[in-house]
A and B are shown apart, each in its own frame.
With several copies, the nearest count.
Chain A
Amino acid sequence: MINKTVQTVEEALEGVSSGMTLMLGGFGLCGIPENAISEIVRLGISDLSCISNNAGIDDFGLGLLLQQKQIRTMIASYVGENAEFERQMLSGELEVILTPQGTLAEKCRAAQAGIPAFYTPAGFGTEVAVGKENRSFHGKNYVMEEAYQADFAFVKAWKGDAAGNLIFKGTARNFNPLMCGAAKVTVAEVEELVPAGALDPNQIHIPGILVNRIFQGRDYEKRIEQRTLRNT
């Protein structure tokens, strides 16, 4: 067993620096790498390009990096729910590259799997397709999209073992598995870190080969964006 465990978030983020391209898992605030985000804030690095489906809210998630003006380029599919984001975008401080959600997912997966490019119907005939190869297969039109290239991927899993194997929970899975192995270095934080052999090899969502460093996360807030209830 190859041990991927690191003891601290500082150690986990060693090598992250200004100007890098980062992938961050999560959908809204669900399944975001809270510990890594806090540490990036603490490191005070800037000029970052962030690939993440959303941009957090004002005071949580990627919103914390926006507050400190650490992000130069945001690559996302949906960026509502964030006043500071809007301000920076409208003022031109922040570059925003909007990408269809399925394309964003597949561009991560392509990077993970060594596929340099693929075709998708999403965005054909829209401004998303401008400047990209358009091509027809079997009478339907598609756009060519290329794999992302990133320096670090930060993901959050439910359980993980020392070998770096990961299991996600519910819809907190989302983009996290696709970003594993999609950047030069993948850092996984987990709610529960167990010894190798404690997880059923049949139930592992992401094999440890796609994870470079794993650590036991702390103080998860797991904030709920839209607490919606049924009447009793």
Chain B
Amino acid sequence: MALDKKNIAKRIAKELKDGFYVNLGIGIPTLVANYVPKEIQVEFQSENGILGMGPFPYKGGEDADLINAGKQTITSLPGASFFDSAMSFGMIRGKHVDLTILGAMEVSENGDIANWKIPRKLVKGMGGAMDLVASADNIIVAMMHVNRKGDSKLLSKCSLPLTGLRCVKRIVTELAVLDITSKGFLLVERAPGVSVQEIKEATAGKLEIPVDVPEMQF
């Protein structure tokens, strides 16, 4: 059965390693913070200027001067720090952030990503996405395998304007975990109960299928 958003986040959380600084994009990536394994320590960076971001505040604890990149009220944890946007993107461009998790409209088999603009539709802007994808060595995309019309979002070549080139390392969708390799999308795991055939049909780009494709473990 295809995963729901929570389970996509839960699967991505398994990619976290002890000592990682992590930047979470808006949407599914934000949910990853709820599933950090207890035995490891990670710190969340929000590009608007906080490291050591904590959960949402309790009622009455909101502070207009303390928000995340999605403009939501947040809290800070012990060991947190605040800084300006140049320092924040210095951390990102300088490869000090270990893992970036973000959403995408399309990913191509060579790791290109498009997630900011649909021609002839309203463009809201790239925010920090271009900086993040151009800089991070370790990018995981959280996305739906197909769009609402049923078309694959894992393509041989992106059709939408690009956010970044050859930058995605791993993709987690409702159907599968896939890596970007020199041979295209490599099927690493499938969602529980989802067949290889289903994933094959939902993937427009080149798909490398190993003999054994294990089910995701949670």
Contacts and interface: CB of A to CB of B under 8 A. Distances in A.
B45 to A, nearest CB: 7
Contacts of A105: 84-86, 88-89
Contacts of A86: 122
B126 A100 contact: yes
A19 interface: no
Contact of B82 (A29, A80, A109, A202): A202
B96 A170 contact: no
Interface string A155-174: 00010011101001111111
- Which one of A78, A161, A232 has the greatest number of beta carbons of chain B within 10 Å? A78
B207 interface: no
B83 A207 contact: yes
A128 B49 contact: no
Contacts of B83: 173, 204, 207
Nearest to B123: A98
B173 interface: no
B127 interface: yes
A101 interface: yes
- Where chain A touches its partner, the secondary structure class is loop
A113 interface: yes
Contacts of B130: 100, 102-103, 122-123, 126, 128
B81 A77 contact: no
User: How many of chain B's residues touch chain A, expressed as a range?
Assistant: 35 or more
B96 A232 contact: no
Nearest to B19: A2
Contact of A123 (B42, B95, B134): B134
B39 interface: no
Contacts of B74: 228
Interface string B49-92: 11110011111001111111011111011111111111111111
Interface stretch (A8-16, A40-48, A62-70, A219-227): A219-227
Nearest to A109: B86
Interface in B116-152: 122-131, 134-135
A124 B165 contact: yes
Contacts, number: 250
Contacts of B123: 96, 98
A112 B163 CA distance: 24
A230 B47 contact: no
A148 interface: no
Contacts of B76: 170, 201
A209 B85 contact: no
Given A86-B122, A114-B135, A128-B130, A170 B65 contact: yes
Contact of A207 (B19, B57, B87): B87
Nearest to A172: B65
Interface of B: 19-21, 41-43, 45-52, 55-59, 62-68, 70-74, 76-97, 112, 122-131, 134-135, 161-165
18 contacts: A1-B41, A1-B78, A2-B20, A27-B49, A102-B92, A122-B135, A161-B79, A163-B43, A165-B81, A170-B66, A173-B82, A178-B86, A181-B96, A207-B87, A209-B43, A209-B45, A209-B51, A228-B74
10 nearest A-B pairs in the assembled complex, by CB-CB distance: A114-B93, A102-B89, A197-B78, A113-B90, A196-B79, A163-B79, A102-B131, A125-B165, A105-B85, A1-B79
Given A105-B89, A106-B89, A163-B52, 17 more contacts: A1-B52, A2-B19, A27-B85, A30-B65, A77-B128, A105-B85, A122-B131, A122-B134, A126-B130, A163-B43, A171-B50, A171-B67, A197-B79, A207-B87, A222-B64, A226-B73, A230-B57
